[in-house]
Amino acid sequence: MAALTSSPTELQYAPRPALRHRRSFRRVALVILLLAIALSLWLFGPSLWLQARLWYWMAECRDFAAAPTDVVCEEVPSWAGNTPPFLSSATTPKPLAEMERLSGVMSPNPQGPVLYLHERTTPGGVRRLVVVRRVPPAQRQSWDVPLGLAVSLWRPRPFPYADVAMTSWMDFDPLPRAFEANQSTASLKLFAGQTDPNDPSRFTISFETVDGSGVLEGKLQDGETPTSEPTVAWTVK
């Protein structure tokens, strides 16, 4: 019987793709990716950069704190219809000045010295950056029943707006005032507002008068309706 013999079968492999083809594909993909990135930066880069800077300065405003002994402004009393200017007043804190400059949003209220700057939260959980300014004496609209406090509430608007929204109003002056007193010395001295660490809605502004010292308490309150902006309630203690 003849012996069976077998010969090895030769396997046929597909040819290896040309290396230059793969390199060409990678180059094309890289060019497309770079073009897409460049187009995105051209379309959205300026808005994203502006929003990043706005949010940075708004974050600085949210955490802003001044020493309780810092004097914000000093006033002499009104008399016979006259409203003398501040004896002294502090400049606007840099974080707020930068946020206003970048946003292009300026409160229609008079731009007096800043008594308070920090974030507060209403009992209902609405967060706002609270800015309280002292209205310059000549802009209080009345010398005997003046509008003494200018309040602004700020909040960021998300991309693609890249800006902030602001609500503002003026409140009647709750602080005690002197009339017909010495016109060369301060009758009212206001200090930098302080944030209450135990009440997220509350802040205080200390003051001194010719009769003693006191505290102006502010609380961020929910609006009258779910869509209304918060308000600030004032109490003098």
The answer to whether position 186 is within a domain reads yes
d(CA 93, CA 156): 19
For the chain, the first-to-last Cα distance in angstroms comes to 122
Among 18-27, 186-195, 212-221, which stretch is predicted with the lowest mean pLDDT? 18-27
The answer to whether position 181 is within a domain reads yes
Instruction: Give 102's pLDDT tier (boundaries 50, 70, 90).
Output: confident
The answer to whether position 9 is within a domain reads no
The answer to whether position 145 is within a domain reads yes
Query: Quick one: pLDDT at residue 217?
Result: 95
Apex 132 CA angle, 49 and 61, nearest 5: 30
Tell me the mean pLDDT in the region 84-100.
Answer: 90
The answer to whether position 208 is within a domain reads yes
* Two structure tokens written together for 93: 């804190």
Tell me the mean pLDDT in the region 102-123.
Answer: 84
d(CA 91, CA 161): 29
- Is the peptide bond prior to 146 cis by the omega test (within 30 degrees of 0)? no
Domain extent for 220: 48-236
The answer to whether position 154 is within a domain reads yes
* Two structure tokens written together for 121: 């939260």
Question: In 3D, which of 179, 172, 171 has the Cα closest to residue 152?
Answer: 171
Tell me the mean pLDDT in the region 160-165.
Answer: 60
Q: Which amino acid is at 212?
A: G
| Residue-averaged pLDDT of the chain | 79
- Contact by Cβ (8 Å): 101, 82: no
Among 3-12, 54-63, 98-107, 124-133, which stretch is predicted with the lowest mean pLDDT? 3-12
Spatial strand order in the sheet of 127-134: 114-121, 127-134, 147-157, 163-172
Give how many domains the chain has, as a whole number: 1
The answer to whether position 22 is within a domain reads no
Apex 64 CA angle, 58 and 67, nearest 5: 165
Backbone angles phi, psi at 35, to 5 degrees: -65, -40
The answer to whether position 128 is within a domain reads yes
Instruction: Give 84's pLDDT tier (boundaries 50, 70, 90).
Output: confident
Which residues sit opposite 149 in a β-bridge? 134, 171
CA dihedral 110, 116, 122, 128 (to 10 degrees): 60
